[in-house]
Each structure stands twice: as structure tokens, then as C-alpha cells.
């Protein structure tokens, strides 16, 4: 397994790349649909009816995953399985060969929401054994491991909206430590039910009563918050194959401050960025792009804009895809990381279009990518901060 010497003197570090990508999103099943949707500039967030009872208005805007998965599987299990299958096949097509100890990490927050809703409200808590097992978080994971004949360590991680970054960093730790020879990371969130959408609206974070680009405008004037989305995104992380990009390092912190508010002095947010750069052994002046969490909420946009202006003073630009994909919660950083993988592959950054005055370095729609380092940030509820540093393959 190719390694490099750790600059801190702490041993060896694996040259970890993402060599396979799979995607199920509001644009449809498959990474091509995700990519085509992103570069079109058209949002996957569309009006949907049937929300009167819960939201008080019949139409709500969201980017939902359609039920196109295998027969007998829920949207959640089907999307998870579909994303992993595509990522594994993509990696194989790019020359990856599984090592002896392939692990699996699932980034997740709410899990099988549709199934548990029906368990209590439709079935009164009484279902057959097989149906009950399908609700367990371990069941789709063991199905994936069985299907692909993988037998490495398997676990779930949760760091709210930063879960995708947290899972990728955990995978890198496994690879660096030799715990696994390769790691499949999958982040799944199929939870945009009316009840959950209402809760986020009441928290003052989500807006679901208007088109995405009318309300979710990261780093622009007139932004009112984020818009709902769902996705399952998978990666194969390994030292083998032909990688889209390399994950050079990263860091995680927690504000320890408030369930939904960011600590105003940004001490822990800043520490996550600084730690990621140190871990990757790069200078902030070397960073070309910031793939932001970019929710369109006032406090998150202000925090990341401050970091851009004070840390990444030489970066060419900042971008967010949330107006296009919706805020996919546990899968949010993963779907943005998938977009960046394909940006490194194609030379085009699928940024959201600018629709109002905003930050001078905010990219405006699909943009030709300049070579160099991208920093991907995630700022989650509960003070979760996770930052990864991405480099050329």
C-alpha cells in the first residue's frame, strides 16, 4: 500500500484517494443524473403537493429521492444500496481491486424514517419479523457487505450535517492505521417527510414555500435559509485505482455551545480549518477553492465568509450546491464532495448560479476549474465542524 512519511513524525500516511462515486439524489438515480443536473443550473428542488395537513399549505418545495430502487426495498435501503453498487462498479472500472479487508462506514442521522413512520402510525407497532429487521440500521449494511463479499470493519457515524466529512475522515484514519485495506463510505438521508420539514421551518432554518433560488442564496443578499433535499452518496476510498482526487487531510471539532447556533467567536470553526490544513501539510495561501457548507442561513454563511476573508485570502472562489440539490442533511457534505470529485475529473465546477449581489469571490454557475487544492467544509447542528483538504489525483 503506497504511503508517505507523516510530516509530524508520527509514522506513515496512506495516499488516500476517492476512486469510485455513486449517487442517488433529487436529480435521479446515478451520478450522471446528478452531474447533468448540477451543470444544467436547474434545481432538483421542485414543488410537491399534499402538504396541507402538516404545513398548512398544499405545495412545498423539496428535492426528494424517487422510489426507483430494487423491489421490496424501502427508499432508504434502496438508495443506500444503489449508491454503493454504483461506487463499487465505478471504482472497478477505474482499476481498483479490493484488498483483503474492505470496510464500510455509513454516515447517517435519522435512518429509516419512512419505515419507522409506518411502523407506528400504520401498523400500530406490529409487523412481521422480516419487516422489523428491515428497520434496523445494521440490516442494509450487512446486505451490502454480503453482496460484495466484503468483511472489513463496518460501522455508522453521525455528526449531523457534517456526517459525510466525518465519515470520510474516519475512513482515512482506518486506512492510515491499517485497520482496513479499502473503505466504502456511504452517506444516506431520506428524511424529508412533511413532519421533519415543518420542524426545520419552525427552527427558522428551512424555507419550503418558494422555489430554491428565490430563498436559498448562499453568500448572497436575500437568502432566507435552506431548502429540503434527500440523497445517498457513496465513495470507494483507497490507495489503488485511478482516483478522482486525493483526500490529503482534515480535522473535526465541536463548538460545545448550543444545539443549533454557531459559537459567535468561531473559535472551534477556525480550529477545524487550521487543523485540516496542518494535517494535510498545506498553507492556506495554497488553497484555490472553498467548497462551502453554504446553507444560505445567515449564521452559517457569515461564518464561512469570515473564514474565506481571513484565512483563504488568495483563494479564487467559494461555491455551494445547496440551491441545486437541496440540503441533504446527513448526506449534505457527501453530495458536495461528489460534485467536487467530478469537478476534478471534468475541469468544471458545478457551482450554483448567482441570482443576487453577494460575496465578490462567489462563483457564478458552472466554472472552469483552475488546478489546485480545494477545502471542503461542513458545519452541522450541535456544533459539529468537519473540514477536509482535497488535492489533485
CATH 3.40.47.10 fits 15-391, yes or no: yes
Q: Is the confidence at residue 219, as pLDDT, over 90?
A: yes
| Rounded CA separation 257/61 (Å) | 31
Q: Output the pLDDT for position 56.
A: 84
Please give the share of the chain, as a percent, with pLDDT higher than 70.
97
Q: How many CB atoms lie within 10 A of CB 305?
A: 20
In SS3 terms, 170-209 reads as HHHHHHHHCCCCEEEEEEEECCCCHHHHHHHHHCCCECCC
Query: Where do we find the cell 466525518?
Result: 166
Q: Is the confidence at residue 328, as pLDDT, over 80?
A: yes
Q: Output the pLDDT for position 12.
A: 57
Contacts of 149 (CB under 8 A, 6+ apart): none
According to DSSP, the β-strands at 317-319 and 287-291 are parallel
Please give the share of the chain, as a percent, with pLDDT higher than 90.
84
Contacts of 330 (CB under 8 A, 6+ apart): 107, 108, 109, 110, 158, 160, 161, 163, 164, 187, 188, 189
Cα three-residue angle 14-20-21, rounded to 5 degrees: 125
Report in angstroms the alpha-carbon separations of 310 from 212, 231, 301, 303, 313.
29, 33, 14, 11, 6
| Mean pLDDT value of segment 25-53 | 94
Q: Is the confidence at residue 3, as pLDDT, over 70?
A: no
Q: Is the confidence at residue 8, as pLDDT, over 80?
A: no
- List pLDDT tens digits, range 163-185: 999 999 999 999 999 999 999 99
Amino acid at each position: 500500500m503506497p504511503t508517505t512519511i507523516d510530516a509530524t513524525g508520527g509514522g506513515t500516511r496512506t495516499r488516500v484517494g476517492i476512486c469510485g462515486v455513486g449517487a442517488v439524489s433529487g436529480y435521479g438515480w446515478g451520478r450522471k443524473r446528478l452531474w447533468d443536473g448540477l451543470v444544467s443550473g436547474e434545481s432538483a428542488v421542485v414543488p410537491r403537493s399534499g402538504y396541507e395537513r402538516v404545513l398548512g399549505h398544499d405545495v412545498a418545495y423539496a428535492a426528494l429521492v424517487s422510489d426507483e430502487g430494487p423491489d421490496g426495498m424501502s427508499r432508504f435501503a434502496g438508495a443506500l444500496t444503489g449508491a454503493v453498487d454504483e461506487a463499487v462498479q465505478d471504482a472497478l472500472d477505474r482499476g481498483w481491486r479490493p484488498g483483503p479487508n474492505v470496510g464500510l462506514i455509513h454516515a447517517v442521522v435519522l435512518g429509516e424514517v419512512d419505515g419507522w413512520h409506518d411502523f407506528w402510525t400504520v401498523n400500530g407497532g406490529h409487523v412481521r419479523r422480516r419487516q422489523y429487521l428491515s428497520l434496523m440500521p445494521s440490516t442494509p449494511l450487512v446486505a451490502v457487505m454480503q453482496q460484495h463479499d466484503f468483511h472489513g470493519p463496518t460501522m455508522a457515524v453521525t455528526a449531523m450535517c457534517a456526517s459525510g466529512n466525518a465519515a470520510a475522515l474516519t475512513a482515512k484514519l482506518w486506512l492510515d492505521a491499517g485497520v482496513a485495506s479499502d473503505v466504502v463510505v456511504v452517506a444516506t438521508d431520506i428524511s424529508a417527510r412533511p413532519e421533519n420539514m415543518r420542524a426545520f421551518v419552525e427552527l427558522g432554518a428551512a424555507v419550503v414555500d418558494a422555489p430554491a433560488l428565490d430563498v436559498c442564496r448562499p453568500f448572497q443578499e436575500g437568502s432566507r435559509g435552506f431548502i429540503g433535499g434527500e440523497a445517498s452518496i457513496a465513495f470507494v476510498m483507497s490507495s489503488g485505482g485511478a482516483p478522482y482526487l486525493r483526500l490529503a487531510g482534515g480535522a473535526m471539532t465541536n463548538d460545545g455551545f448550543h444545539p443549533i447556533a454557531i459559537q459567535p467567536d468561531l473559535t472551534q470553526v477556525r480550529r477545524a480549518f487550521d487543523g485540516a490544513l496542518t494535517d494535510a501539510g498545506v498553507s492556506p495561501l495554497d488553497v484555490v477553492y472553498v467548497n462551502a457548507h453554504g446553507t444560505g442561513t445567515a449564521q452559517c454563511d457569515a461564518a464561512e465568509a469570515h473564514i474565506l476573508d481571513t484565512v483563504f485570502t488568495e483563494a479564487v472562489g467559494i461555491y455551494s450546491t445547496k440551491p441545486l440539490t437541496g440540503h441533504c442533511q446527513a448526506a449534505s457534505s457527501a453530495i458536495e464532495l461528489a460534485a467536487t470529485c467530478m469537478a476534478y475529473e471534468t475541469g468544471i465546477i458545478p457551482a450554483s448560479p448567482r441570482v443576487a449581489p453577494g460575496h465578490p469571490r462567489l462563483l457564478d454557475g458552472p466554472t472552469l476549474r483552475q488546478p489546485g487544492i480545494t477545502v471542503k467544509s461542513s458545519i452541522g447542528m450541535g456544533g459539529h465542524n468537519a473540514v477536509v483538504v482535497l488535492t489533485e489525483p
